[in-house]
Amino acid sequence: MTIEIRGPVLLPAHREDITLETLDGLTLVGELATPEEKPPAATLITLHPLPTAGGFMDSHIFRKAAARLPALADLAVLRFNTRGTSSPRGTSDGEFDGGRAEAFDVAAAVDFAAERGLPRPWLVGWSFGTELALKYGRDHAVEGVILLSPPLHRASDDEVAAWADDPRPLVILVPEHDDFLQPDEARQRFASIPHAHLIAVEGGRHLWVGETQTRRVLTEITAAVRPEALPLPTQWDGAVP
């Protein structure tokens, strides 16, 4: 049976409910999706949008990454709710702290990936999640960082500039019509990082709504992490869960 890969289509993968334990004593809920029949080639550690504005581990780009990329690109996708955040998976302990104590949440996710032996971890932040990646990503053994719709509200200019001395890849997807930071301003704000790869996405919006934008984001993530898996198929010929 051949189906078009779009919307809520769920492709085969091994999916496991997980918990993360933070150094300040909280339990965070999440999910790990891995390829069904082979080891993952790389790992996406996702950091979701602002929970006080509806962001959580199921925010659609990350939900679709977990639904598609284990099968299409042999990627492991780790999603979790930061402190105080709820989703159908459950509610993580603690309370939202505006990006401060969430440093422990990022550390817990990276530590989990290391303990599981998940290969080539990348941080993938979206909106608020980009602030966490910028503020705390340099402290961790990740291969690179991908930023989707960075608002640069909480990450200071000094925290951004600190990446100039870090040789790891920094890929930044900036929507043309973003509500907070559009490409021209983004080029100025990230100019302090000479090796940053900024991609202005024509027609894009902060929430990346619609299948065209979803495919573009998942393609750019795959291009950074596992380019040999491109182009991502748009149809699936086989069984689905």
Number of C-beta neighbours around residue 70 at 10 A:
25
- Say what the pLDDT of residue 121 is: 98
Q: How confident is the model at residue 60 (pLDDT cuts 50, 70, 90)?
A: very high
What are the residue ranges spanned by the domains of the chain? 2-237
Q: Using a CB cutoff of 8 Å and minimum separation of 24, what contacts does 209-218 make?
A: 209/60, 211/6, 211/7, 213/175, 214/6, 214/60, 214/61, 214/64, 217/61, 217/148, 217/173, 218/61, 218/64, 218/65, 218/68, 218/69
Give the three-state DSSP class for 134: helix
Does the pLDDT value for residue 33 go beyond 90? Answer: yes
CA nearest neighbour of 146 among 46, 32, 42, 17: 46
Number of C-beta neighbours around residue 235 at 10 A:
9
Does the pLDDT value for residue 1 go beyond 90? Answer: no
Q: Is the pTM of this model over 0.85?
A: yes
Tell me how many helices (H) and strands (E) the chain has.
6, 12
Q: How confident is the model at residue 227 (pLDDT cuts 50, 70, 90)?
A: very high
- Say what the pLDDT of residue 13 is: 98
Q: What token pair was written down for 187?
A: 């080029």
Q: Which CATH architecture has domain 2-237?
A: 3-Layer(aba) Sandwich (3.40)
Q: How confident is the model at residue 50 (pLDDT cuts 50, 70, 90)?
A: very high
- Say what the pLDDT of residue 238 is: 83
Q: What is the pLDDT of residues 140-199, one digit of tens each?
A: 999 999 999 999 999 999 999 999 999 999 999 999 999 999 999 999 999 999 999 999
- Say what the pLDDT of residue 28 is: 98
**What does the pLDDT average to over 110-123?**
98
**What does the pLDDT average to over 41-55?**
98
Q: Give the DSSP letter of residue 36.
A: S
**What does the pLDDT average to over 52-60?**
98
Does the pLDDT value for residue 124 go beyond 90? Answer: yes
Does the pLDDT value for residue 228 go beyond 90? Answer: yes
**Mean pLDDT of all residues in the chain?**
97
Following DSSP, what letter does each residue of 174-196 receive, concatenated?
EETT-SS--HHHHHHHTTT-TT-
- Say what the pLDDT of residue 234 is: 97
Q: How confident is the model at residue 239 (pLDDT cuts 50, 70, 90)?
A: confident
Number of C-beta neighbours around residue 153 at 10 A:
14
